[in-house]
Amino acid sequence: MNKRYLSNMLIIILFFCSTLDAQCRRGETLRISNGIETKEVDCREATRLIYNEDYWPYSIEDEREDRCPQLASSAQQYYSTSSWELSANAYSELINLRCDEWDSDWVNPNDVYLYWAVTLEYLGQYDKAEAALVQGLEELPENTDLIKRLAYAYKKQDKIDEMIIEYERLMDMGIDDTTSLRDLASAYGEQGRTDEQISVLKKILVFDPNNSGVQSDLARAYEEAGEDPLEVFKDRYESNTDNVSYATEYAEKLIDNGELDEAIDVLENTLDYNKNNNMIYMKLGKAYSENSDFEDAVDVFEELFKLDRNNYRVAILVSENNIQMEEFDAAYDWAIKR
What is the pLDDT of the chain when averaged over all its residues? 83
Q: Is residue 334 part of a domain?
A: yes
pLDDT at 6 over 60: no
Domain assignment of residue 2, yes or no: no
Domain coverage including residue 47: 21-58
pLDDT at 97: 82
| pLDDT score for 19 | 46
The Cα 221–Cα 244 span in angstroms is 23
| 205-264: pLDDT as tens digits | 888 877 888 888 888 888 888 877 787 888 878 877 878 888 888 888 888 888 889 988
Question: Which amino acid would we find at residue 225?
Answer: A
Would you say 106 and 134 are in contact if contact means Cβ atoms under 8 Å apart? no
Structural contact between residues 97 and 63, judged by C-beta atoms closer than 8 angstroms: yes
Residue 8 clears pLDDT 80, i.e. is over it: no
Counted domains in the chain:
2
Q: What is the DSSP letter of 30?
A: E
Nearest to 291 by CA among 326, 315, 267, 316: 267
Q: What's the CA gap between 237 and 229, in Å, rounded?
A: 13
For residues 180 and 212, which has the higher predicted lDDT (pLDDT)?
Answer: 180
Residue 294 lies in a domain: yes
Last residue in a domain, options 12, 33, 58? 58
Q: What count of other Cβ atoms lies within 10 Å of the Cβ of residue 121? A: 20
CA 77 to chain centre: 25
Last residue of one domain, picked from the residues 8, 34, 58: 58
- What per-residue confidence (pLDDT) applies to 229? 78
- Number of residues that this document lists for the chain: 338
Q: Is residue 170 part of a domain?
A: no
Tell me the pLDDT tens digit for each residue of 259-313. 889 988 989 998 888 888 888 889 888 998 999 999 988 898 889 888 888 888 8
Q: Is the pLDDT of residue 15 over 50?
A: no
Three-state secondary-structure class, residue 53? coil
Radius of gyration of the chain (CA): 37
**What is the reported pLDDT for 159?**
95
Distance set, CA 147 to CA 107, 127, 201, 254, 276 (Å): 20, 15, 20, 42, 49
- Last residue of some domain: 11, 41, 58? 58
- The CATH number covering residue 275 comes to 1.25.40.10
The region that residue 337 occupies, defined by phi over 0 for left and psi between -120 and 50 for alpha, beta otherwise, is beta
SS3 327: coil
Residues 6+ positions from 224 with CB-CB distance below 8 Å: 189, 194
Domain assignment present for residue 26? The answer is yes
> How far apart, in whole angstroms, are the C-alpha atoms of residue 126 and residue 118?
9
Residue 28 lies in a domain: yes
Taking CA atoms, 66 is separated from 20, 36, 37, 239, in Å, by 22, 12, 12, 60
Strand 56-57 and strand 29-33: pairing?
A: antiparallel
